[in-house]
Structure 1
Amino acid sequence: MDIYVSNLSPFIVNEDLNNHFSRYGVVSSANVIIDKFTNRSRGFGFVTMPNDTEAEKAIQEMNGSLIDGKTIAASQARPREEKPGRSYNNRW
């Protein structure tokens, strides 16, 4: 199960995310999303846990918990919604 984690401190790295969630079971991957222009954390990330029961327990326990002084939010990740594209050709 993929877990969406938001409101992360800008100082949290993949290893930190992995360490916090591995308390509840096996973590396949933990990725803090980095802005490609500033090379800084965008304040959210994803954790993948292969066992759904462990993932649900992690979501329950981690949602609303403090990491590095910030209250994080954790929920089951949903597929990204398609946003209508901007067309710059019609501006002029």
Structure 2
Amino acid sequence: MSIYVGNLSYDVTAENITEVFTEYGAVKEVYLPTDRETGRIRGFGFVHMEDEANEEEAISALDGAEWCGRNLKVNKARPRERR
């Protein structure tokens, strides 16, 4: 399972996100999609953690929390839809 993290500041890095989510368990990977034209992150990302219980705890704690001046939207990531 992965976690969707939305409403991120454009200045956030994968290291920043890892630091926050490590409080809830081991982070395997952080993916921040970037805009093709500008190279800037798109304001959302995905976090993969080693333990599903830790993911649930992180979602509960961080959904709606203020971070970097923004209220985070944190929930289970949905599978990507085919176009």
Band of TM-score, shorter chain:
over 0.9
Moved over 4 A (4+): none
Residue-by-residue CA offset, 1:50-81 (whole Å, 9 max, x unaligned): 20000000000010011110001011111111
Higher Cα radius of gyration:
1
Give the structure 1 partner of residue 57 of structure 2. Answer: 57
Give the structure 2 partner of residue 88 of structure 1. Answer: none
Q: How many residues align?
A: 83
Give the structure 2 partner of residue 89 of structure 1. Answer: none
How far has the Cα of 1:30 moved from its partner?
1.2
Check conservation: 1:12, 1:32, Cα contact below 8 A: no
Give the structure 1 partner of residue 46 of structure 2. Answer: 46
- Any unmatched runs of 5+ in structure 2? none
The Cα RMSD (Å) is 0.8
| Percentage of identical aligned residues | 39
TM-score by length of 1: 0.86
Higher relative contact order, chain-length normalized (CA < 8 Å, sep 6+)? 2
SS in 2 for 1:59: helix
- Whether 1:77 aligns to 2:77 is yes
TM-score by length of 2: 0.95
